[in-house]
Every structure is written in structure tokens, then in C-alpha cells.
A and B are shown apart, each in its own frame.
Chain A
């Protein structure tokens, strides 16, 4: 008897992997860095500069995207499920013996919610976000005040770009070769069998369970702060264009 594969998938129990807050953070990061990488390479590589040639437009898109990215991240952190974020951060930054083994043995050690490679990737990406922001702001300031031009600003922004391009390529390769992990970040859930096979030491909440901290509305203070961040972002964009 033929079974509709979609029904089969739907019937299989799923477990909750990423909450809405984490997924939104990822979406903002993914879109922003796609645009930033593309426009950045046009600004950086002569053969692309020749094809596109509209440097002022590319630079404008690059700067506005950078502001929108930081504003978006700040808003999600301020208004989103902070308990879930704190938990994910803890899941990423703690390395137990198996995680160390996973990195050493290239994948042959039982993983928790994140394996050693995923943790390492997230950590470097988070570091790059800081380094891009600092060096990018310094590039922008250096165009206006030459005292703020540091000897390594360009080198840092360039090196970070190359590292990012490599990481993103690897990240997309991993995601496309593990469709369930892609489902995890897109829908928030993965098949229970996938979780058991790839993350045996993870004890995931079943799909539909209330995630940590959900339902807690942001207080008046954080809402006001979010409004201020949004206003700052809009002001920065109008300053740039």
C-alpha cells in the first residue's frame, strides 16, 4: 500500500529544536550577511566592481543593511524569549568531554543539543559579528576623521570577510546535506528519530510543549528600550542615505 510520504512525515513524532526567537535571530543574520557579503565583494573585488560599477549604491546598501542587521538583532534580543536565548547560549558555550572528543575525532562522539562542530561554528560567527561591527564602524569613522584610522582596520574587515565566506559555505553545505537540520531552523522542529540519531545526549521537549519562558511579555522598560533602538536605527539609516 502506497503511503503519501508527506503523511508519513507528519505522522512521525517531532521534537522542538529552535523557538521563534532563535529562528528570527537566524533569519536576520542570514539575510543581512548574504547582502553584506554580496555587496562587500563588489566593493572589494575589481572584476565584480567592473560588472556592477555602481559603487555608491553598493556602499549605501552595505551600510544600511549593517544598521538594519544590528537593529534587528537588538530588537529580537530585547523583545524575544530571553530565557530561551540564555539557554541556547549556555548550550553552545559549555563543552563537555564528548564535545571535545567530537571536535578531535571529527564527528565520532555522541552529541547533545549541539555537537562540537555546531558549537564552534556558532562561537566563531558570534565573534565575527563583533569584529565586523567594530571594524566596520571604524572604517566609516575613518573616512570622516583620519585620526580614527587604525593600521589594522582594513586588514581585520578583509580577513573577517574571507573567514565568513568560508564558514557560510560550510554551513550551507552541512545544512543541505542534513535536510532535518534545515527543517529545524526553518520550522523549529525535527523528527524525533533524527534527534535521537544525531543528538543522542539531547533530551528535547516534544513539539507543542511550551518552550522556556514563552508567554512572558516584555516589560515596559524593555519595550521602551526597543522603541529607542528602533528610533536609533531609523535615524542612522536616514543619516546614511
Chain B
């Protein structure tokens, strides 16, 4: 192979290729930590700008049945029914008139990404259920999404976690459509798939039923670090 027209010189390109691939593959071990560090360093950047950055700890919008449900404040109703003394039908105005709480918590998705320090506004479940008066046999809530067939359940005990919330506000604005407008479940100690978006109906039940992702192999009690999420 002494073709004079052939390129000569050391195989720098091959070394660069192997080095680049090696560095990339090694990031499978350290990339997560690097992303955390990057997210920390971008905290000084204003929120509005940071959310526009294409890299770092941003939201990824998951949905199972397009298009995302549309919210019309005039016709939207939240029904609370099942094992209650007085079933309720709340308008949006009635919902946001309930005792309002704010909290800052992290959102962790079971697929590995997370968003730190999300500022939620909403109502605690005890306040939400007060008027409906759950019966003594009540054990859990089934959250039915307007995005069929998405559904998930949490026990009343789990919903008494101090940071469990039915949220209608996010980062100082009304909840956006892609985040589940007008209301979604926020359960920071569990993976995001327990946080039903576009909640349209809450059924009080005497036992927990498998939700959308549990029917597809994910754990029912999706505690972060304590379930088959990791």
C-alpha cells in the first residue's frame, strides 16, 4: 500500500476520535454530577432567562394522549365524589378561594431528570376535602386526568405528607397548559408520574387502585429512592 496519493501523517484524527468517544462514555459516570453543578452555577441567572437555556435542569413535558387537555375557566369543574358525605363540584374560582399555600420543592422524574426549587401554589388535601367530608371507610384518592386514560391514586395517609399539594400555580404564575392546567397533583417525595396533571375528577375510595404507570410495571408507592424508580 504505497500509493503516493494517500494521505500521510500521524493518525491524529483516530486518536482524537477515540479520546472523544472515551471522554463521552466516561460521562455516563460523571455527567449527572456535572449537570447538577451546572444547574447550581446557573442559579445566579434570572429565572426567565434560565428556563430559556436549553441545557441544565429543565422540564421535559410528558403526556400520554395528545393533544394536551384545554382549560376553559368558564366551563371547567373539579368533581370530588365517591366515599364522601357531600359530593362537590368546584369551579376554578371556588378552588382557588380555598386556603392557599405556597411551597418550594424539587420535582424528580422517574426517568432520571429533575427540576430543583419549583415554586408551587395550591391547596392541601385536608382543606380540599373538608367540605366533602370523607366517610370513615375512605382510604385513598383516585385522581382522574382529563387526559384519558391517565389516572393515579394516593392514600390519604400519603396525602397528609406536609408537602403534598393540589397545585394550581407554578413559579408565580397560573399552572401552564403543558404542566397540567388548571390543577395537578404535587407529591415531591415521590416520582413525578404520581403527580397527575389536568386533574378533572377526584374519587374517594376505600383502597388504592393501580394507576396508568403501575399497569405498565412501575411501583405504586413511588418513593424517591425507595421504589423501582431506583
Contacts and interface: CB of A to CB of B under 8 A. Distances in A.
Interface stretch (A2-10, A42-50, A71-79, A188-196): A42-50
Interface string B47-64: 000000011001111111
A49 B60 contact: yes
Contacts of B5: 203
Interface string B193-230: 00000000000000000000000000000000000111
Given A55-B62, A153-B31, A155-B31, 12 more contacts: A43-B60, A55-B61, A93-B13, A94-B8, A123-B13, A143-B111, A146-B229, A151-B29, A152-B31, A152-B34, A155-B34, A156-B28
Given A131-B24, A135-B28, A155-B31, A93 B66 contact: no
Interface in B1-45: 5-14, 16-17, 20-21, 24-25, 27-35
Given A54-B66, A99-B9, A127 B21 contact: yes
Sort A-B residue pairs by CB-CB distance and give the 10 closest, nearest first: A152-B31, A155-B31, A96-B9, A93-B13, A151-B32, A49-B61, A95-B12, A54-B66, A127-B20, A131-B24
Q: How many of chain A's residues touch chain B, expressed as a range?
A: 35 or more
Contacts of B9: 94-97, 99
A126 B6 CA distance: 21
A134 interface: yes
B58 A46 contact: yes
B160 interface: no
B228 A146 contact: yes
B118 to A, nearest CB: 13
Interface string A147-189: 0011111111011101000000000000000000000000000
A152 B13 contact: no
Contact of A149 (B7, B24, B178, B230): B230
Contact of A159 (B8, B17, B55, B228): B55
A119 interface: yes
B183 to A, nearest CB: 18
Given A53-B63, A87-B6, A203-B5, A159 B14 contact: no
Interface of A: 43-46, 49-50, 53-57, 87, 90-97, 99-100, 112-113, 119-120, 123-124, 126-127, 130-131, 134-135, 138-139, 142-143, 146, 149-156, 158-160, 162, 203
A131 B25 contact: yes
A53 B68 CA distance: 6
